[in-house]
């Protein structure tokens, strides 16, 4: 009898703990309404200062798994997965301003969840979204970490190109991409140009195959026809830009020539700092992981110190 009573007390205690945990989880996310942001889903992990992580084209939030594992002890990580990417259900119909809708809905999410000056880490298209969000609402976000992304991708080879001039090329690309998936071989070949690890190439290729062609086509169109080179002047946050050049070495690029493109495109952004990876390709968080973490750690520490110093002075 005594053993049964003891066991019952243990079970009651476990049940109470589970109830407390569930209530806390529900309270933490009670304000989120997934129907309010059909362009993305979000997974929240960790505790501390809020951090948004936004993946690039065709990638789900899982691309940030190692980054979340590193920062979740000190940051509450809000990992975005855009609709239609990497197996995520696509919005139907696909909006003809998909990235603008994503920008607006993520900013609304930040406000509805009461995230105070979240750090934002964005890769490629995700980095572009981070810049666009900050330029649209300069007071909403905290420090930005932009991973191999530019304010106007279409102008990489011609700095004088305008968004209007890029539209015919972008429209042709959109029509072609809407027709369907690349073959597995084509997908692997493209991924191999963006990263070096064979296992990662396989994973990225799989995500590409699982992505919705219409969504990817529209996202690329939006990316190629939106020029933020002047808009970044409104960004008030310190911004770390991590650039890659190794993938373009075969085409005659050097680190210096690639850095010059970055400097030119980010010239109007008041508080920016550009660092170039020696060997990493486009997926720097995978290809040059230790360097990526070293740069990001130092940047976050520097801005946390500056924030505390500002509070003391005030």
- For the segment 219-262, what is each residue's pLDDT rounded down to a tens digit? 999 999 999 999 999 999 999 999 999 988 888 999 999 999 99
Task: State the Cα torsion 194-258-289-149 to the nearest 10°.
Answer: -70
Which pLDDT band, with edges at 50, 70 and 90, does 185 fall under? confident
**Pick the residue with more confidence: 24 or 254?**
254
314, part of any domain:
no
276, part of any domain:
yes
154, part of any domain:
yes
CATH number, position 46 = 3.40.50.1820
CA angle 263, 244, 119 (to 5 degrees): 75
Cβ pair 267, 309 in contact under 8 A: no
218, part of any domain:
yes
Q: Is the pLDDT of residue 309 over 60?
A: no
| CA-based nearest residue to 205, from 220, 180, 185 | 185
Which pLDDT band, with edges at 50, 70 and 90, does 32 fall under? low
22, part of any domain:
no
Rg, Å, the chain Cα set: 21
* pLDDT, position 256: 96
**Pick the residue with more confidence: 174 or 187?**
174
Number of neighbours of residue 89 by Cβ within 10 angstroms: 11
Question: Which residues, other chains included, contact 149 with Cβ-Cβ below 8 Å and sequence gap of 6+?
Answer: 56, 122, 123, 124, 125, 126, 127, 128, 130, 131, 241
Which pLDDT band, with edges at 50, 70 and 90, does 182 fall under? confident
Number of domains in the chain: 1
Distance CA 155, CA 124 (A): 15
Q: Which two tokens stand for residue 204?
A: 């990225």
Mean pLDDT of 203-229: 97
* pLDDT, position 250: 85
Separation in Å, CA 99 to CA 68, 166, 286, 290 = 24, 17, 25, 31
The distance of Cα 104 from the centroid of its chain, to the nearest Å, equals: 15
14, part of any domain:
no
* pLDDT, position 9: 46
Q: pLDDT tens digits for 77-111?
A: 999 999 999 999 998 889 999 999 999 999 999 99
Among 4-13, 124-133, 179-188, the range scoring the smallest mean pLDDT is 4-13
* pLDDT, position 25: 39
Total length of the chain: 314
The distance of Cα 307 from the centroid of its chain, to the nearest Å, equals: 23
Mean pLDDT of 281-309: 90
* pLDDT, position 308: 54
* 80 three-class SS: strand
**Mean pLDDT of the residues in the chain:** 88
Tell whether omega for the bond before 71 is within 30 degrees of 0, i.e. cis: no
Write the DSSP assignment of 123-162 as a string of letters.
Answer: ETHHHHHHHHHHHHSTTT---EEEES--S-GGGSS-TT--
Q: Is the pLDDT of residue 24 over 70?
A: no
Place of tokens 């691309």: 63
Among 32-41, 79-88, 199-208, 281-290, the range scoring the smallest mean pLDDT is 32-41
> What is the domain extent for residue 87?
36-308
């Amino acid at each position: 009898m005594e053993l049964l009573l003891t066991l019952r007390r243990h079970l009651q205690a476990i049940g109470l703990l589970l109830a407390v945990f569930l209530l806390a989880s529900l309270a933490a996310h009670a304000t989120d309404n997934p129907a309010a942001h059909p362009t993305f889903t979000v997974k929240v992990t960790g505790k501390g200062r809020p951090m948004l992580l936004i993946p690039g084209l065709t990638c789900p939030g899982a691309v940030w798994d190692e980054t979340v594992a590193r920062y979740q002890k000190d940051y509450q990580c809000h990992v975005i997965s855009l609709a239609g990417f990497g197996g995520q259900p696509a919005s139907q119909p696909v909006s003809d301003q998909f990235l603008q809708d994503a920008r607006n809905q993520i900013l609304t999410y930040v406000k509805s969840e009461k995230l105070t000056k979240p750090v934002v880490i964005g890769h490629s298209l995700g980095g572009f979204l981070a810049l666009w969000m900050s330029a649209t609402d300069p007071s909403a976000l905290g420090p930005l970490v932009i991973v191999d992304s530019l304010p106007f991708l279409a102008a990489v080879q011609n700095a004088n190109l305008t968004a209007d001039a890029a539209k015919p090329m972008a429209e042709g690309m959109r029509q072609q991409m809407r027709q369907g998936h690349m073959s597995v071989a084509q997908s692997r070949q493209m991924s191999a140009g963006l990263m070096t690890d064979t296992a990662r190439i396989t994973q990225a290729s799989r995500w590409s195959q699982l992505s919705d062609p219409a969504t990817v086509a529209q996202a690329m169109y939006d990316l190629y026809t939106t020029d933020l080179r002047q808009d970044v002047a409104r960004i008030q946050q310190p911004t770390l830009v991590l650039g890659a050049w190794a993938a373009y070495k075969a085409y005659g690029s050097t680190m210096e020539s690639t850095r010059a493109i970055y400097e030119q495109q980010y010239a109007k952004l008041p508080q920016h700092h550009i660092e170039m990876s020696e060997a990493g390709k486009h997926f720097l968080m995978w290809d040059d992981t230790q360097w990526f973490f070293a740069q990001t750690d130092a940047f976050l520490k520097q801005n946390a110190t500056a924030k505390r110093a500002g509070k003391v002075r005030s």
